[in-house]
Structure 1
Amino acid sequence: MPTRLNPYLSFDGNARQAMEFYRRVFGGELALNTFGEFGTEGEQADKIMHAQLETDSGLTLMGSDVPPEMEYTPGTAMTVSLSGDDVDELRGYWNALSDGGIVSVPLERQMWGDEFGACVDRFGTPWMVNISQPAG
């Protein structure tokens, strides 16, 4: 397997819902493992220890719930960026990700010629979508 770089998102108890949402957005196969599968009992047992979404278009997104003994600090130091020239695919992702979220930059043509938008989805994950325009 070649080396790959992919986002790993942390959630405060709603990783299952978030990753299932991302599966609806991007399609693909979602694998979910709970803390209980690895011996944790009690309230934390049903929380997600590791989730991995592999899409048909080659995207990989991972995530988990932060255990109570670790600090959960949502931040703005990381944004997930989607870019390419498949207008229908990227607009579809944009529409799904921004639905119920906060749009900071509407998806529209920008000064550099591409369509670009930025939002934070309903789970607090920041996204940027850039649709490249054909050269010429």
Structure 2
Amino acid sequence: MTVLLNPYLNFHGTAREALEFYHSVLGGTLNLMQYDAIPGMMGDPSESTLIMHGQLETEDGLTLMAADYPASMQEVPDASTPGSSVCVSGDDLERLTAIWTALAESATHIQQPFEKAPWGDTFGMLSDRFGVPWMISGGPAQD
């Protein structure tokens, strides 16, 4: 039996762009479902091409999901609201550095550069171009 915990990010009209960007950063397989895939799901026809559910799955086991809020939910906080982060960690420093570099390239804010931390891991924090907070942490390989 398998149990998974996956980040699910909500956006206000930029889920497609965000997921396509994350796909370019993380690789893997991206599946997108628009609201118009299920007739009657979206009340406003102008929002029919928004993402009802998107899922990115990578070869190394990462899963990231996202969706767009409809305009009727504009007041609901989205993934750029402070209080949570997407964290990617492991012992493949080359892979983690590549992820960091791609996210940092267009980041809106780098809180902590990706460098050796006092506790020994390589660690960094940033907000990507969509305002989503990320933490990247690389530790030594486990035996």
TM over 0.5: yes
1:77 pairs, out of 83, 89, 93, with 83
Identify the residue that residue 88 of structure 1 maps to in structure 2: 94
Output the TM-score relative to the length of structure 1. 0.93
1:131 matches 2:138 = yes
Q: Is the 8 A contact 1:19 1:53 kept in 2?
A: yes
Identical pairs, percent: 43
Question: Over residues 93-136 of structure 1, what are the superposed CA-to-partner deviations in whole Å (9 max), with x where a residue is unaligned?
Answer: 0011111111110001111111110000001110001110358x
Identify the residue that residue 51 of structure 1 maps to in structure 2: 54
Q: Is the 8 A contact 2:34 2:52 kept in 1?
A: yes
Q: Which amino acid aligns with 1:50?
A: H
Which sits farther off after the overlay, 65-74 or 10-19?
A: 65-74
**Counterpart secondary structure, 2:64:** strand
Paired residues, what number?
A: 135
Tell me, in whole angstroms, the C-alpha distance in 2 between the residues paired with 1:46 and 1:99: 28
Tell me, in whole angstroms, the C-alpha distance in 2 between the residues paired with 1:38 and 1:83: 36
Q: Which amino acid aligns with 1:10?
A: N
Identify the residue that residue 8 of structure 1 maps to in structure 2: 8
- Structure 1 gaps, min length 5: none
Q: Is the 8 A contact 2:35 2:48 kept in 1?
A: yes
Task: Tell me how far 1:37 sits from its aligned partner.
Answer: 1.2
Which sits farther off after the overlay, 39-48 or 11-20?
A: 39-48
1:122 matches 2:135 = no
- Structure 2 gaps, min length 5: none
Identify the residue that residue 100 of structure 1 maps to in structure 2: 106
